[in-house]
Amino acid sequence: MCETAPGDPEGELAGYWGVKKDSGDDPDVTNGTWICAAVAPVSRDEFERLCREGQGYFHKDFPGLYLNGGIGVGMVTKPGLACPPGHYAINPVPRAMIFQAVREAAKEWEYQDCLEIRLAVPDGQRLSAQTFNPRLGIAGGISILGTTGIVEPMSEQALVETIRLDIRTKAWENREILLMTPGNYGSTYLKEAFGIPEGQTVKCSNFVAESAKILAEEGVRRLLFAGHAGKLVKVAGGAENTHSRYGDRPVEILTGLAARYVESRKELERIRSANTTDEALKILEEYALAEPVLALGARLVKEKMEMWGKGRIAVEVIVFSSAGGLAGKTDQAEQFLDMWHQGIEHGL
């Protein structure tokens, strides 16, 4: 029973039953976490009240059953997710699975009155800080996602779908322009250079081309994309995914961009011999060419992302380096930034 589960010092989960989640080889922060549930009879009047006023779920195909959340189950606060705002973050697939399982058990025991099903994750609130949930608009706990209940090896598709949810949430906020970065470097740069608060950017990780496709599918029409040169020069070179397993030659690509400006073979070889993009850019800065090369890289990133978005999104790009605060921008990048700030000020 869950009364012995950690995270329940007051014994609030007495009467719950639970299991410890085994995530297999999936690096899931909820691995080893207690997932608890309780089922209790309720009167018809209470069932109808829950259906009218509750923050859980009922379904016409499962009459008399009400699914509720509890300790450690997150609450949806923003539109755009599979669950409406003001309700527990229990997705449609696990809802249907739970309803079906309870109905089968009730039928086996010939029970025909109303039941309330309650879910709880004793450690959910603490774990939620380690997930995308706060960015997606899920507060106070984790979401109950669920698929088949069978753990399979982690797939890239699962990560891509998380990015889709983040994009969808931002799009539902009626933003004129979305901001996107590969990761923390980009969001930190936007915060320090342009005053963009944390949590305002979509983080696409290595999935740049896939994210461009999702942006188009979700109806986003303008994007400002900012990232470190080490990542974005790969995109400029045509990399749809920037993970090293798909090719890790940013200095080589940067040297190719520099070749449009540097005529000396000796100077090009010096750039090519750099260990990192930042080191290569320091060399280019000696020749007063770092910013033009970064600007060229930004234009190429723009072309690639607009192509991957099938021409349905307008993309502006900022490519930056930690070497001396260098940055290259596409022509309307700062205009997009201004439009984003104006949209926030006017609640758009």
Sequence-ordered list of residues with C-beta below 8 angstroms from that of 130, at least 6 positions apart, any chain: 29
Alpha-carbon distances, residue 183 vs 109, 190, 204, 280 (angstroms): 52, 11, 7, 22
Distance of CA 265 to the CA centre of its chain: 44
Residue bearing the bigger pLDDT, 174 or 113: 113
Rounded distance, CA 117 to CA 73, Å? 13
Residues 101 and 108: beta-carbon distance below 8 Å: no
Q: How confident is residue 342, by pLDDT bands cut at 50, 70 and 90? A: confident
Residue 169 has pLDDT above 50, yes or no: yes
pLDDT band with cut points at 50, 70 and 90 for residue 63: very high
Q: What percent of the chain has pLDDT over 90?
A: 58
Tens of pLDDT, residue by residue over 186-234, are: 988 999 899 998 889 999 999 999 999 999 999 999 999 999 998 999 9
If you count DSSP H runs as helices and E runs as strands, how many of each does the chain have, helices first?
13, 11
What does the pLDDT average to over 3-29? 66
In this prediction, residue 152 carries a pLDDT of 47
293 Cβ contact partners less than 8 Å away, ≥ 6 residues apart: 254, 257, 258, 261, 281, 284, 328
Give the DSSP H/E element, type plus range, for residue 92.
helix 92-108
Strand order in the sheet with 201-203: 201-203, 178-181, 222-228, 314-320, 327-329
Using pLDDT thresholds of 50, 70 and 90, give the confidence band for residue 153: very low
- When mean pLDDT is compared across 31-40, 206-215, 305-314, the lowest value belongs to 31-40
Nearest to 36 by CA among 115, 91, 118, 159: 118
Residues 240-288: tens digit of each pLDDT:
999 877 777 899 999 999 999 988 899 999 999 887 788 899 899 999 9
Cα–Cα nearest to 325, from 192, 187, 231: 192
d(CA 341, CA 101) in angstroms, rounded, equals: 49
Q: What contacts 57, CB < 8 A, 6 or more positions away?
A: 66, 67, 87, 88, 90, 95
More confident residue, 275 or 50: 50
290-to-62, 277, 299 alpha-carbon distances in Å: 64, 11, 14
Q: Indicate the pTM of the whole model.
A: 0.63
Of 71 and 162, the one with more pLDDT? 71
Please, what is the average pLDDT of the chain? 87
Per-residue confidence (pLDDT) for residue 222, from 0 to 100: 96
Which pLDDT does position 244 carry in this prediction? Answer: 73
